[in-house]
Amino acid sequence: MQGKEYLLVLSGGMDSVTMLYDYRERIAAAVTFQYGSNHNRREAHYARLNCERLGIEWIEIDLTFMASHFSSSLLEGADAIPEGSYDDENMKSTVVPFRNGIMLAVAAGLAESRGLAGVMIANHSGDHAIYPDCRPEFIRSMGAAIADGTYEHLELFAPYTSLSKGEIARRGKELGVDYSLTYSCYKGGEKHCGKCGTCVERAEALRYAGIVLNDD
């Protein structure tokens, strides 16, 4: 099936915004989830903005109950976010338990309700060690659950699973993505802090792709 067939889970960060542009001819709508993280509101602003630029429907879903009931430094305020490298031990506290599973379950229901063929997610290889619900094993299992749990056997499409964030940024450069219109800082300030793990990873990816920004 070709055409507008997918619903994209869109955070407003580099990876999902790149996917929005990369697959814009096949994306019928994008959904952003408000789950109470420090950076959620700022990311959502850019998710909406990029959808408006491309003429793609944007949906916002409230999952803020997660902030009240789930344990994660990502839900506890800027001071709880670790600074330094984007590695397992340093970033483990930012895991929001089964976040992608919850979001993909809702997204699958939205996609089936709209008669679409599947759901897209922009996980990548740099996430695998830290976040269990970004790993290839999870994508395969969740894909099977979505297919088995929907009448039309919807697909979970995750084409960036084996790519690094740098490779995604390089693809975005080819597409002309303006990364100043994305947000990634886990501390959630007005500007990227440049110190938290996700800021460090973002800066490394931009350098890898040869992209210079003046927005941070």
Distance CA 153, CA 174 (A): 33
Answer yes or no: are the C-beta atoms of 26 and 20 closer than 8 Å.
Answer: no
Give the residue ranges of the annotated binding site.
10-20, 185, 193, 196, 199
Write the single-letter amino acid at 178.
D
Task: Residue 12: name the closest of 37, 36, 41 by CA.
Answer: 41
Annotated binding-site residues for ATP read: 10-20
